[in-house]
């Protein structure tokens, strides 16, 4: 996969991710306003364990499938590539069955151990998703290994569309039965989406059977033993799964630790649940928005780096690595700075049913978490690069070190009354900062990449700083005239435009970058004509 193809794959997934996040906003924002901080607290209490179990059953295998399929196809072994998929599919089917049964049988014991038994309905409603998501992920890994990102993009859109429609209808319908049951309805939206996404991938796979069959017929017979393929899959998947599980483990620890620490310093059960909802349901939701782009980049980076590494094309490895890091910061830095300077106005705009006190409290949490966007997006891309280089254990260790710092800091800081839930936010930022720094050192070590400090770091930092300053000034200028909501929207739109212009002026956007956008080449040609862009 060339640098251009890798970026096009990332662009396809980014567009799909943007659509998914827009749909998600139509889900999470009204959902937060319907359930409030207390109801969203029940929903978010169940979610970390769900993500953890889902990570254990799915995280490593799609990457392992993509990597092995990509490598075997690069060598012309199409039958071997398809054999990898079939074996992995059976494994993920079993993993989904076991995790879903585990939660269904032990749901009441789990929520009781958390000290939040009202989260039972939210947890048990996610059981079907635990079964169907692994099935969907196996197909996604196969198509990503074929360097075809459109099936993944379509399944993501269908999954989110059905999640939004099903979840909101159920939440509205069940609200009269109490917040815990309504939170269960919101959770079941995830199961509806998982079923829709899995069906979409199955339909796409069978529609491609002719093309796949032709490849298999033209490929020599693969005599590789099943045990060898399983060993290869596990060798790749286990370290990645451990690494991917660290974040859900941290969140699960937060579920237990934050809730109990808040009660230990005098907060009531309802207030502690509300503060937890502000942290994970309101602020954390916004932090996850920029991750649509870094996630798309990381998905495309693994097979791209892996193929270049298989061919020993070190120049291509360095080119792809440099592009991945540059684009990650072009996205992460402005998102972080923008969320920081407009934290409280954005909370007031989106979660308008919160009380003024809750808006101020959640705004403070968001302003702290905003710094984590830079480090979290960077960790995702650097982890994908190291996985593609065949060094999956390195980011696992680095994230584990960051997680250890987070647990200690969360326990200490959350127990300080004046800091309370903000301690969990501070510890999260610290964890990702440590992990990203260690990952960057590792990438430099294994690629011998000569970092262009100006292009990769200085230019995005300069443009993001000016954009953030502009956003703050624009908001302050309009707020007294047209109020919070409109002034926030105007500030975001104008600041985004200013950032885009700054990137062109300082040369951070290249002609190749524009080619990834719809009609981007025409726009780039006009910018070249006016000497604003170099071809």
Name the nearest CA neighbour of 48 among 111, 97, 105, 98: 111
| Same structural domain, 176 and 75 | yes
* Pair 430, 460 in one domain: no
Last residue of a domain, one of 430, 451, 472: 451
Higher pLDDT residue, 60 or 186?
186
Q: What is the mean pLDDT of residues 420-435?
A: 91
283 shares a domain with 228:
yes
Task: Determine the pLDDT at residue 516.
Answer: 46
* Total domain count, the chain: 2
Q: Are 243 and 303 within one domain?
A: yes
The three-point CA angle 294-300-304 to 5° equals 135
How many other C-beta atoms are found inside a 10 Å radius of the C-beta of residue 515?
15
Q: According to the model, what pLDDT value does residue 434 have?
A: 95
397 pLDDT exceeds 70?
Answer: yes
- For residue 511, what pLDDT is reported? 66
When pLDDT is cut at 50, 70 and 90, the band that residue 494 belongs to is: very high
Between these two residues, 421 and 276, which has the higher pLDDT value? Answer: 421
* pLDDT at 195 (0 to 100): 92
pLDDT, averaged across the chain: 81
**The pLDDT of residue 455:** 83
> Residue 303 above 90 pLDDT?
no
**Domain span including residue 488:** 453-535
Q: Tell me: do 420 and 476 sit in the same domain.
A: no
pLDDT of residue 14: 57
Judged against a pLDDT cut of 50, whether residue 297 lies above it is answered with yes
- Say what the pLDDT of residue 442 is: 92
Are 216 and 79 in contact by the 8 Å Cβ rule? The answer is yes
% of the chain beyond a pLDDT of 70 = 86
C-alpha 473/C-alpha 329 separation (Å) is: 24
User: Quick check: 244 pLDDT over 70?
Assistant: no
How far is the C-alpha of 205 from the C-alpha of 187, rounded, in Å? 28
Digit-coded pLDDT (tens) for 317-352: 888 888 788 888 888 899 999 999 999 999 988 887
**Residue 189 near residue 168 (C-beta atoms within 8 A):** yes
Last residue of a domain, one of 407, 427, 451: 451
Indicate if 427 and 465 belong to the same structural domain.
no
Interval 512-517 mean pLDDT:
56
Closest CA to 92 of 20, 198, 192: 198
How confident is residue 24, by pLDDT bands cut at 50, 70 and 90? low
- pLDDT of 491 strictly over 90: yes
Average pLDDT over residues 61-79: 80
Question: Among 175-189, 202-216, 274-288, where is mean pLDDT lowest?
Answer: 274-288
Whether residues 126 and 9 fall in one domain: yes
**Given a cut of 90, is residue 531 above it in pLDDT?**
no
Q: Tell me: do 535 and 442 sit in the same domain.
A: no
Choice among 213-217, 391-395, 420-424, 497-501 with the minimum mean pLDDT = 213-217
For residue 468, the model assigns a pLDDT of 95
Instruction: Compute φ and ψ for 29, nearest 5 degrees.
Output: -65, -55
- pLDDT, tens only, 138-190: 888 888 777 777 787 788 888 888 888 888 888 888 887 888 888 888 888 88
Of the pLDDT bands very low, low, confident and very high (cuts 50, 70, 90), residue 518 is very low
Give the pLDDT band (50/70/90) at residue 532.
Answer: low
SS3 readout for 298-347: HHHHHHHHHHHHHCCCHHHHHHHHHHHHHHHHHHHHHHHHHHHHCHHHHH
Q: Specify the higher pLDDT residue, 46 or 482.
A: 482
Task: Identify the domain boundary among 451, 477, 492.
Answer: 451
Residues 506 and 378 occupy one common structural domain: no
Do 458 and 446 reside in the same domain of the chain? Answer: no
What stretch of H or E contains 50? helix 3-58
Residues 226 and 302 in one domain: yes
Residues 27, 58 share a domain? yes
């Amino acid at each position: 996969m060339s640098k251009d193809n890798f970026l096009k794959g990332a662009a396809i997934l980014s567009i799909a991710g943007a659509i998914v996040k827009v749909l998600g906003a139509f889900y999470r924002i009204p959902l937060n306003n319907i359930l409030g901080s207390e109801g969203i607290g029940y929903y978010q209490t169940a979610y970390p364990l769900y993500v953890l179990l889902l990570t254990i059953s799915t995280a490593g295998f799609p990457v392992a499938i993509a990597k092995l399929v990509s490598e075997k196809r690069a060598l012309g072994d199409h039958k071997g590539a398809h054999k990898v998929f079939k074996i992995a599919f059976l494994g993920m089917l079993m993993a989904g069955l076991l995790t879903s049964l585990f939660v269904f049988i032990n749901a009441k014991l789990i929520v009781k151990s958390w000290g939040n038994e009202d989260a039972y309905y939210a947890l048990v409603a996610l059981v079907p998703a635990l079964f169907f998501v692994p099935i969907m992920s196996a197909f996604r890994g196969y198509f990503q290994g074929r360097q075809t990102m459109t099936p993944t993009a379509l399944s993501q859109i269908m999954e989110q569309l059905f999640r939004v429609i099903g979840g909101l209808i159920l939440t509205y319908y069940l609200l009269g039965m109490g917040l815990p049951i309504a939170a269960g309805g919101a959770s079941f939206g995830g199961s509806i989406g998982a079923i829709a996404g899995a069906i979409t991938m199955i339909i796409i796979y069978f529609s491609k059977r002719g093309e796949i069959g032709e490849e298999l017929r033209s490929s020599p017979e693969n005599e590789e033993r099943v045990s060898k393929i399983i060993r290869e899959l596990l060798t790749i998947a286990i370290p990645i799964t451990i690494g991917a599980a660290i974040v859900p483990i941290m969140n699960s620890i937060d579920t237990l630790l934050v809730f109990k620490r808040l009660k230990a310093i005098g907060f009531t059960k309802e207030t502690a649940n509300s503060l937890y909802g502000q942290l994970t349901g309101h602020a954390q939701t916004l932090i996850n928005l920029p991750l649509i782009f870094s996630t798309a980049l990381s998905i495309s980076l693994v097979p791209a780096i892996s193929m270049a590494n298989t061919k020993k094309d070190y120049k291509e490895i360095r080119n792809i690595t440099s592009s991945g890091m540059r684009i990650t910061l072009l996205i992460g830095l402005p998102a972080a700075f923008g969320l920081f300077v407009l934290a409280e106005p954005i909370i007031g705009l989106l979660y308008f049913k919160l009380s003024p006190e809750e808006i101020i409290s959640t705004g403070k949490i968001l302003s702290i978490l905003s710094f984590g966007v830079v480090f979290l997006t960077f960790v995702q891309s650097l982890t994908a690069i190291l996985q593609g280089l065949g060094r999956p254990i390195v980011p696992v260790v680095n994230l584990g070190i960051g997680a250890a710092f987070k647990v200690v800091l969360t326990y200490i800081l959350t127990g300080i009354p004046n800091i309370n839930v903000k301690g969990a936010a501070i510890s999260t930022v610290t964890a990702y900062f440590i992990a990203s720094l260690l990952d960057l050192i590792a990438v430099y070590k294994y690629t011998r990449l000569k970092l262009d400090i100006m292009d990769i770091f200085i230019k995005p930092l300069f443009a993001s700083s000016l954009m953030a300053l502009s956003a703050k000034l624009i908001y302050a200028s309009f707020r007294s005239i047209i109020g919070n909501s409109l002034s926030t929207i105007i500030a975001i739109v104008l600041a985004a435009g200013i950032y885009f212009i700054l990137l062109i002026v300082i040369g951070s956007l290249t002609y190749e970058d524009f080619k990834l956008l719809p009609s981007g080449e025409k726009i780039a040609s006009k910018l070249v004509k006016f000497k604003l862009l170099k071809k």
